[in-house]
């Protein structure tokens, strides 16, 4: 890949990320305005301000580092922007005093927007194209008995279906005396490195005619490793790489009688039988949609599939496996390779990124939206519990009237807008931000050097 394509991929990758994050933050911004919050600033990017506009309550700015954005809302936890310290903000418009259900909606608005962007792209593409190419999740589906795939698996010698043919992918064969071993090199951990038990062996014989009139037959046991791949894919999705595996080779010699003929070869593709391992590319089948509606509905399913995929990948962090997570550099590198494949893979990748942003933002780790949602919800539950437990009712009679009296307890005058102590929030958010930055740096180093 040329340096120019890498640079182009990096630029386009950053632009796509910036667009997705801007739409994410814009959803926060709209809900904040509708909720009546006092919004100081809507920023695209982080760091030093490049330029800004707006003269009223809210200013809009573009900042130097294009890896995010934010909505700056008046709050007791944050100081006003520089130069706006004397600005009078109504108490009811501060973040702490916004109704809790509105706050919760504001927090999840960005993630929900990313979800629907992914759904929109997936559904439009699948409904208009009528298929999804290379769908690994389609492996193991029910094949038509008249189809070429079904007949190939059944060993049917006569295949008469029109416009169908069996395609055997390129392969390299070699000798290796190691036990069967299936592993993955940079295959996003689709197959764990090590040995996998396989069933359904099939014989494959490669005959080599030597110059001394002997025919050593290299008979190799080939295992149905695709089933293993599918099993592992369900646990840990893979993407667009080769599978590297080793198989045990058994040498057998066969004697024959008859004339020895020299072959006439005009062109040939050779292989080195002394080297391994063997690299095999697997093309997953295309999923064909029988109707526009089926393509549309599968767009929703694909969004959920990609969402679960990134959640599983994030969980691998706790086992020390970082292979499937990518930062801006990794996204740019992937974008460089996708640009050569046309518009459809490009937009599918954008939809996948949007689905990933949807899930990542809902993970309950500060400073992500998921933690803010959890914090706000917990505060609401605590307040609700105190209101119930802090009052009791009693009936009493007075002058033939039944009146309801409330006995006051220490919880009766609780502030309905009570929240966790600001100092505790600050410590939690700073700790989370530091860990998040370290994670970001670690993933970036991995993307650059590994």
Helix (H, G, I), strand (E, B) or coil at 351: helix
Average pLDDT of every residue of the chain: 67
Instruction: Return the closest-CA partner of residue 337 out of 80, 6, 66.
Output: 6
- Mean pLDDT (whole number) for 262-273: 45
Query: Alpha-carbon distance 245 to 179, whole Å?
Result: 10
Pick the most confident of 110-119, 243-252, 365-374: 110-119
Q: Once rounded to an integer, what is the mean pLDDT over residues 295-320?
A: 82
- pLDDT tens, residue by residue, 373-428: 988 888 777 766 554 343 333 333 333 434 333 333 343 444 555 566 767 777 88
pLDDT of residue 167 exceeding 70, the answer is no
> Reduced to 3 states, what is the DSSP secondary structure of residue 342?
coil
Q: Higher confidence at residue 270 or residue 107?
A: 107
Q: What is the CA radius of gyration of the chain?
A: 31
Please tell me whether the peptide bond between 277 and the residue prior to it is cis, using omega within 30 degrees of 0.
Answer: yes
pLDDT of residue 112: 95
pLDDT band at 309; cut points 50, 70, 90: confident
Predicted confidence (pLDDT) per residue in 313-343, tens digit: 777 666 666 666 777 777 777 777 787 777 8
Look at 337 and 111; give whichever has higher pLDDT.
111
Highest mean pLDDT pick, 124-133, 176-185, 326-335, 390-399:
124-133
Place 433 in a pLDDT band, splitting at 50, 70 and 90: confident
Q: Mean pLDDT, to the nearest integer, of 173-195? A: 32
**Position with higher pLDDT, 10 vs 273:** 10
Other residues' Cβ atoms within 10 Å of the Cβ of residue 105: 17
Q: Region 230-241: what's the mean pLDDT?
A: 45
Length of the chain in residues, anyone? Answer: 450
Q: Which of 274-283, 316-325, 351-360, 399-408 has the highest mean pLDDT?
A: 351-360
For position 124, what pLDDT does the model report? 94
DSSP string for residues in 287-308: EE-SSHHHHHHHHHHHHHHHHH
Residues of the chain above pLDDT 90, percent = 16
Residue closest to 352 by CA, chosen among 137, 26, 181, 121:
121
- Tell me how far CA of residue 447 lies from CA of 332, 333, 334, 399, 441, in angstroms: 10, 8, 10, 81, 10
For 57-66, 143-152, 419-428, which range has the lowest pLDDT when averaged over its residues?
Answer: 143-152
Question: What is the average per-residue pLDDT within 268-281?
Answer: 44
What would the mean pLDDT of 221-235 be, rounded to a whole number?
44
Partners of 217 in the β-ladder: 207, 252
Helix segments in 130-175, DSSP class H: 148-154
Measured CA to CA in angstroms, residue 105 lies from 157, 241, 251 at distances of: 61, 40, 68
Report the alpha-carbon distance of residue 220 to residue 218 in Å, rounded: 6
């Amino acid at each position: 890949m040329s340096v120019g394509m890498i640079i182009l991929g990096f630029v386009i990758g950053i632009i796509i990320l910036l667009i997705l994050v801007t739409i994410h933050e814009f959803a926060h911004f709209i809900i904040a305005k509708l909720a009546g919050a006092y919004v100081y600033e809507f920023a695209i990017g982080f760091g030093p301000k490049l330029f800004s506009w707006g003269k009223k309550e809210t200013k809009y700015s573009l900042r130097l580092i294009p890896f995010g954005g934010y909505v700056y809302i008046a709050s007791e936890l944050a100081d006003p922007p520089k130069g706006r310290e004397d600005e009078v903000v109504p108490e009811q418009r501060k973040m702490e005093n916004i109704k809790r259900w509105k706050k919760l909606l504001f927090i999840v608005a960005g993630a929900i927007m990313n979800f629907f962007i992914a759904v929109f792209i997936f559904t439009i593409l699948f409904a208009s194209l009528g298929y999804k190419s290379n769908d690994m999740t389609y492996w193991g589906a029910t094949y038509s008995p008249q189809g070429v795939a079904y007949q190939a698996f059944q060993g049917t010698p006569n295949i008469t279906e029109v416009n169908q043919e069996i395609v055997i992918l390129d392969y390299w064969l070699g000798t290796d005396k190691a036990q069967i071993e299936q592993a993955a090199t940079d295959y996003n951990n689709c197959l764990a490195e090590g040995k996998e038990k396989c069933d359904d062996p099939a014989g494959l014989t490669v005959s080599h005619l030597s110059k001394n009139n002997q025919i050593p037959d290299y008979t190799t046991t080939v295992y149905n490793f695709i089933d293993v791949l599918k099993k592992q894919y369900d646990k840990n999705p893979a993407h667009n790489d080769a599978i590297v595996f080793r198989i045990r080779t058994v040498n057998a010699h066969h004697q024959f009688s008859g004339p020895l003929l020299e072959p006439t070869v005009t062109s040939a593709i050779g292989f080195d039988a002394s080297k391994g391992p063997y690299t095999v590319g697997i093309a997953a089948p295309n999923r064909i949609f029988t109707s526009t509606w089926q393509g549309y509905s599968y767009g929703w399913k694909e969004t959920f599939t990609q969402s679960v995929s990134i959640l599983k990948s994030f969980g691998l962090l706790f086992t020390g496996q970082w292979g499937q997570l990518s930062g801006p550099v990794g996204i740019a590198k992937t974008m460089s390779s996708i640009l050569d494949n046309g518009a459809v893979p490009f937009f599918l990748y954008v939809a996948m990124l949007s689905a990933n942003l949807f899930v990542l933002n809902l993970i309950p780790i500060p400073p992500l939206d998921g933690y803010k949602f959890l914090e706000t919800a917990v505060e609401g539950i605590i307040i609700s519990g105190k209101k119930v437990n802090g009052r009791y009712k009693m009936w009493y009679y007075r002058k033939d009237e039944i009146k309801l009296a409330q006995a006051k307890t220490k919880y009766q005058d609780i502030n309905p807008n009570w929240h966790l102590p600001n100092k505790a929030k600050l410590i939690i958010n700073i700790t989370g931000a530091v860990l998040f930055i370290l994670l970001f740096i670690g993933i970036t180093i991995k993307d650059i050097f590994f």
